[in-house]
């Protein structure tokens, strides 16, 4: 069969080193116009602009001029079923869950509704330049099937899992130890590594799972150790007090997972704001992943993630919108909020660090950095094309920039979907500003 070939050209940004490393040298990053050669959705080579390859004769060049081409954004923690309740007013975590979230999640036993929201959510993400997401679904298997099916139609690399809860949630939104195990296992067998799908075993958080359920999901993870396990950790102070009451023997919140086999290298823990020293040491020892959800943390009033302390150690840190606790589908807006939170902690994150978190940092946190998160030969051609002058306010600042970082930073701070010129998944253009 003949191969599918594409050529994409523009200014290319990609990291071969982690800008959080102490010896990182910014001048090592050369951002120039380059030509990306893609075969069957995979980057085959990246050459100088205008470079001709005889095996790509007659292939039209998609030339994005001076626009910036980056690896597509990787949103490492979202709840796609909460799309329709984004920006719900006036509550903190536990009340927000009870008042807004649980009633909405109840609707996802209906496959048609789940499919409608999954498609709506993925369209918002793609038009924001996000090419991979790790999503919680609801307790209903329909919600998982709907999501994976919708993502497969775009050939997107995604992570998702059935959210498990068997207590402290409304009756219509609880499973059991047995159904959580059986349904998760069946869904995992159906979807894990099918095309670009990856299954994550997903206990919502320890307050909504009995010790029995946590233990069953720990056993399931031991049976399928190449799966991810995603959950929430230490998001709000009230939540932590509640966990202490529910698990009086636990040393701390993290211990409620570790006791039941739910701590590991492939564990992905959302929020992780109010961690104790022991928890940080243990997470580091294990090499687990933490996901920073800045717009959610300010919107629900959770607290200030300690990026300087956590990203500089062996813990992997990813970045996420946490839809619908988060207040934007855009990873640009999310980077801006991460910048602001770090400022409140006395740290100025460099634009290179913000872009790294939104691409390779998240990809590493999800153990997908061998496939996505950077633009080099062998990686998927999942990419976003950014206009660094997308509004008059941004443009009047970026046009007087002295270097690429000064040019990019106004888009990080003030940009939104208007800055997304195009989004490609496995080479294919799946979004174009003003067209699709």
Nearer to ligand GUN by Cβ, of 93 and 425: the residue is: 93
Among Zn ion, ligand GUN, none, the one that 234 touches (CB under a kind-dependent 5 to 8 A) is none
Q: What is the smallest separation between the CB atom of 425 and ligand GUN, expressed in angstroms?
A: 26
Q: Find the binding residues for ligand GUN in span 80-99 (CB under 6 A).
A: 93, 97
| Residue 204 touches ligand GUN, criterion: CB under 6 A | yes
> Min. distance of Cβ 213 from ligand GUN in angstroms?
15
325 binds ligand GUN, rule: CB under 6 A = yes
Query: How many residues at the interface with ligand GUN, by CB under 6 A?
Result: 11
Q: Which is nearer to ligand GUN, 95 or 189 (CB)?
A: 95
Question: How near is the Cβ of 160 to ligand GUN at its closest, in Å?
Answer: 14
Q: Does 75 bind ligand GUN (CB under 6 A)?
A: no
Select the residue interacting with ligand GUN from 142, 255, 322, 369 (CB under 6 A). Answer: 322
Three-class SS of the chain: CCCCEEEEEEEEECCCCCCCCCCCCHHHCCCEEEEEEEECCEEEEEEECCCCCHHHCCCCEEEEEEEEEEECEEEEEEEHHHHHHCCCCCCCHHHHHHHHHHHHHHHHHCHHHHHHHHHHHHHHHHCCCEEEEEEECCCCHHHHHHHHHHHHHCCCEEEEECEECCCCCCHHHCCCHHHHHHHHHHHHHHHCCCCCEEEEEEECCHHHCCHHHHHHHHHHHHHCCCCEEEEEECCCHHHHHHHHHHCCCCCCHHHHHHCCCCCCCCEEEEECCCCCHHHHHHHHHHCCEEEECHHHHHHCCCCCCCHHHHHCCCCEEEECCCCCCCCCCCHHHHHHHHHHHHHHCCCCCCHHHHHHHHHHHHHHHCCCCCCCCCCCCCCECCEEEECCCCCHHHHHHHCCCCCHHHHHHHHHHHCCHHHEEEEEECCEEEEECCCC
246-305 residues in contact with Zn ion (CB under 5 A) are: 270
Among positions 295, 296, 334, 371, the unique one binding ligand GUN when judged by CB under 6 A: 296
Q: Select 167 or 194, whichever has its Cβ closest to ligand GUN.
A: 167
Closest residue to ligand GUN, judged by C-beta, is 325
Smallest distance from Zn ion to CB 123, Å: 21
With CB under 6 A as the contact rule, the residue among 11, 34, 67, 79 that binds ligand GUN is 79
Question: In the complex with ligand GUN, which residue's Cβ is closer, 147 or 205?
Answer: 205
- Under rule CB under 6 A, which residues in 227-246 are in contact with ligand GUN? 232, 235
By the rule CB under 6 A, 205 interacts with ligand GUN: yes
Instruction: Please report how close the Cβ of residue 97 comes to ligand GUN at its closest, in angstroms.
Output: 6
Give the binding site for ligand GUN (CB under 6 A): 79, 93, 97, 101, 204-205, 232, 235, 296, 322, 325
Give the binding site for Zn ion (CB under 5 A): 270, 322
């Amino acid at each position: 069969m003949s191969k599918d070939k594409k050529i994409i050209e523009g200014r290319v940004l990609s990291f071969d080193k982690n800008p959080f490393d102490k010896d990182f040298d910014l001048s090592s990053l050369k951002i120039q116009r380059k030509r990306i050669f893609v075969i069957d959705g995979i980057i085959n080579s990246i050459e100088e602009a205008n470079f001709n390859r005889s095996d790509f004769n007659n292939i039209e060049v998609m030339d994005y001029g001076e626009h910036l081409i980056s690896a597509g954004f990787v949103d490492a923690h979202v709840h796609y079923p909460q799309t329709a309740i984004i920006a719900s007013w006036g509550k903190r975590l536990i009340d927000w869950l009870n008042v807004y979230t649980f009633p909405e999640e109840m609707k996802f036993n209906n496959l048609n509704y789940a499919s409608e929201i999954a498609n709506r959510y993925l369209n918002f993400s793609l038009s924001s330049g996000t090419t991979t997401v790790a999503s919680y679904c609801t307790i209903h298997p329909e919600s998982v099937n709907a999501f994976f099916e919708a993502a497969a139609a775009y050939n997107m690399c995604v992570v998702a899992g059935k959210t498990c809860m068997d207590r402290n949630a409304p009756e219509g939104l609880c499973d059991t130890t047995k159904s959580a195990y059986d349904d998760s296992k069946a869904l995992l067998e159906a979807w894990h590594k099918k095309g670009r799908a990856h299954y994550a075993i997903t206990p919502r958080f320890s307050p909504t799972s009995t010790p029995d359920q946590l233990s069953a999901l720990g056993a399931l993870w031991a049976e399928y150790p190449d799966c991810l396990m995603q959950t929430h950790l230490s998001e709000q102070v009230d939540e932590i007090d509640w966990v202490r009451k529910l698990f009086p023997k636990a040393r701390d919140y993290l211990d409620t997972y570790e006791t039941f086999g739910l701590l590991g290298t492939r564990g992905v823990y959302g929020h992780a704001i109010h961690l104790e020293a022991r928890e940080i040491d243990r997470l580091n020892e294990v090499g687990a992943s933490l996901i920073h959800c800045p717009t959610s943390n300010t919107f629900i009033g959770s607290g200030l993630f300690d990026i300087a302390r956590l990203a500089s150690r062996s813990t992997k840190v990813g970045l996420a919108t946490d839809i619908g606790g988060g207040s934007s589908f855009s990873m640009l807006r999310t980077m801006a909020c991460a910048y602001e939170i770090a400022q409140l902690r006395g740290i100025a994150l460099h634009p290179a660090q913000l872009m790294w978190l939104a691409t390779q940092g998240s990809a590493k946190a999800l153990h997908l950095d061998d496939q996505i998160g950077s633009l080099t030969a062998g990686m998927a051609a999942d990419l976003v094309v950014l206009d660094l002058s997308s509004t008059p306010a941004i443009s009047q600042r970026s046009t007087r920039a002295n270097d690429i970082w000064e040019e990019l930073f106004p888009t990080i701070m003030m940009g939104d979907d208007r800055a997304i010129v195009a989004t490609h998944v496995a080479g294919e253009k799946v979004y174009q500003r003003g067209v699709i």
